[in-house]
Amino acid sequence: MLMINGHKTIGIFLSGISGTFRRDLCCSLNRAARNHGFNVLYFNFLGTIGADHRDFGSMEYHILDIVPFDKLDGVIFDNNNVFIEKIRKKLHEKLKECKCPVISIAEPCKDFCHVRFDNANAIADFVEHFVRVHGFTRIGYMSGIEGLPDSVERLNAFRNAMRAHGLPEDGVGVFHGDFWYNKSDEAADFFFNKCEQMPQAIICANDYMALSLCDSLAGMGIKVPRDVCVSGYDDIDEAVSHFPSISTATQDKNALSELIFDLFENKRDEIIPGRMITLPTTNVYRVSCGCMPISKDTRARDKNASFHRNVNMLYNLYDSEAGMLEMAGIGDIKQMGAAFEKHSLNFGSYAKFFFFAYGDEEGKCSYEKEFDHPSDKVYPAIWIDMSGTTQHPQGMIPVSALIPPDSDDGFTCYYITHIHFGEHCFGYTAIMMNSESPFGEFYNIWTINIAVAMETLLQRNSIRSLVADLRRESTHDRLTGLLNRKGFEVSIHKGFEEAKKNGGTYVTAVMTDLDKLKSINDFYGHGEGDVAISAIGRFIAECSGEDDISGRTGGDEFYTVMFGKDEAYARDFVEKLRRKTEGFNDTMGKEYALGASCGIYSVKAEELENIEVLLRRADENMYMVKRKKQISRS
């Protein structure tokens, strides 16, 4: 069980939630979930973004990698709604492994229990209506996406009904649309310029196509219903407010939702693969088929509603434009959260909004490091909780938690959207609305905006990291990681100036020179010489204190300058270094013995003319040590 609060949780997988039909469906599902005591988590798929961005929709499958299927108490999914085949296939694979009951809606699916509306009867009833009531014999049909199950079922119902009335099964012609607004001009041209007979009525497979077809026909000077009657399917809000209002088939989504949640609550054993439950539809006859008179009141109401819709649309566009401009200039993740909170006014009132960024074991987030797939951990990068009922976690949390626990034990509903751009996965957003209605279309624009902003932030952080690396390379030695001559000199001069201001401060230098580097290079190669140099550099770094300044100033020459430290501290440093080199010799099994000679010089800062004197004296003392070693060996 996914512990959001004390209630069981149902996962719902839908695409295009902000569309009118899906919004109505979500409202009815939310009401039913509340009535039956369930929480719901919607996994929102945006699908294809226009004709040129199918890649965006195809990358949404990554959200399925973070869904805690094993913790859900039930699943609802629209088998006809996820148009990206890659996602459909992966979702089916995940759901077949689910231990919880699964219910599909819309398109039948033999692997799961299926609850649906009767597509065929509504289409057949419209054929019957146009033939019996209006006496039409020339009827055209605007189908949905060719090959899509809903399209096939409704087209077959049209053909069967036409044959039953002794009419040609394709009527005056069948045009394949897209279940959306995009092909209405082509359809209008097809029916009135390319068919042998002009239609008296056109039956459309859904309302979106019926609405746009009416507008396209009006553009050709063809009036609905005076010159041709039109019907749709789904009874979306626009079908009522459009002029003319659209005759359509209505589906009782409340009955569908109540049935589904009753199965989850009381009849789980009846949710079995292959079972199909079919609910009836009801045809509604309005102006577009000539069965409802056009009154002046209706015209005025429609114009008034249209005016308010247009005004709201303009304000929403302004909010989006302002948000886009601000998001484009963000420099860090906190600015992104502030921009969202300031401008997110155009998709509905919300109670909570979270953005969880993928992260790794080292604490790097997806806006700092590239992730090509979801990670095991997420970071709450944006946290807006207007209700104050969720505790803000500190640092990374397991991605399996998905949603933070809620102290409010009432009905909880989140909509979760995956955030990605190209091959980069950034995380996911979770939003809770203040009503049963889901978000409006502008929320999807916001999620895309966040994805683009995250990509920009990632690139900026990558550039910052590259610049930092270049700066480090300009002051640090690649082989040892210590300061190079330039970095060392800048650092010690700055430290020396500070030391002189503080009277009585000791300044100590240790000059370290690797023993017999030439012999190592000559006998074992320069690669082995680099191993020896790197080892000494590493040991010097390990022996240096936090405030000590160490650098490699030549091939095998190293300096360490210690401010505020005396000779005793330096001798302890040299002894630590000696033990490190002996440990290297004992454990590494090299044919040569690693060794170093160190010279120490310590003096009060005010007694030094300049820092170079300190280094020179340490250098001289190092050569004295090296000569003593040579004498003792001879």
Weakest-pLDDT range from 79-88, 119-128, 530-539, 585-594: 79-88
Query: What does the pLDDT read at residue 311?
Result: 45
What is the Cα–Cα distance from 46 to 450, expressed in whole angstroms?
14
Give the pair of three-digit tokens for residue 600. 């120490």
pLDDT band at 148 (very low <50, low <70, confident <90, very high): confident
Q: What is the pLDDT of residues 549-579, one digit of tens each?
A: 999 998 899 999 999 999 999 999 999 999 9
Give the mean pLDDT of 330-357: 87
**Choice between 197 and 474, residue whose per-residue pLDDT is larger:** 197
**CA 599/CA 532 separation, integer angstroms:** 19
Q: How confident is the model at residue 347 (pLDDT cuts 50, 70, 90)?
A: confident
Band of the pLDDT at 393, cuts 50, 70, 90? Answer: confident
Phi then psi dihedrals of residue 27, to 5 deg: -60, -45
- pLDDT band per the 50, 70, 90 thresholds, residue 82: low
- Encode pLDDT of 254-305 as tens digits: 999 999 999 999 999 999 999 999 999 999 999 999 898 765 434 434 444 4
Q: Please, which residues have CB within 8 angstroms of residue 161's CB and are 6 or more apart in sequence?
A: 123, 124, 127, 128
User: 328 pLDDT band (50/70/90 cuts)?
Assistant: confident
Per the CB < 8 A criterion, the answer to whether 205 and 144 are in contact is yes
3-state per-residue secondary structure call for 304-322: HHHHHHHHHHHHHHHHHHH
The percent helix, strand, coil of the chain (3-state, each to 5) is 45, 20, 30
Q: How far apart are the C-alpha atoms of 251 and 222, rounded to whole Å?
A: 30
Residue 316 has pLDDT above 70, yes or no: no
User: Taking the CB of residue 268, how many other CB atoms lie within 10 A of it?
Assistant: 13
| pLDDT digit string, tens, across residues 578-587 | 999 999 999 9
**Cα–Cα distance measured from residue 562 to residue 540, given in angstroms and rounded to the nearest whole number:** 13
Q: Which domains does the chain have, with CATH numbers?
A: 8-100+301-462 (no CATH), 117-251+279-294 (3.40.50.2300), 485-633 (3.30.70.270)
pLDDT at 457 over 90: no
pLDDT tens-digit readout, 168-210: 999 999 999 988 888 999 999 999 999 999 999 999 999 999 9
Helix (H) or strand (E) holding 76: strand 74-78
Which residues fall within 8 angstroms of residue 471, CB to CB, at 6 or more apart?
none
By the 8 A CB rule, do 413 and 40 touch?
yes
- State pLDDT tens for residues 37-71: 999 999 998 876 665 555 666 788 899 999 999 99
Q: Specify the pLDDT at position 467.
A: 61
**Average pLDDT of the residues in 113-125:** 92
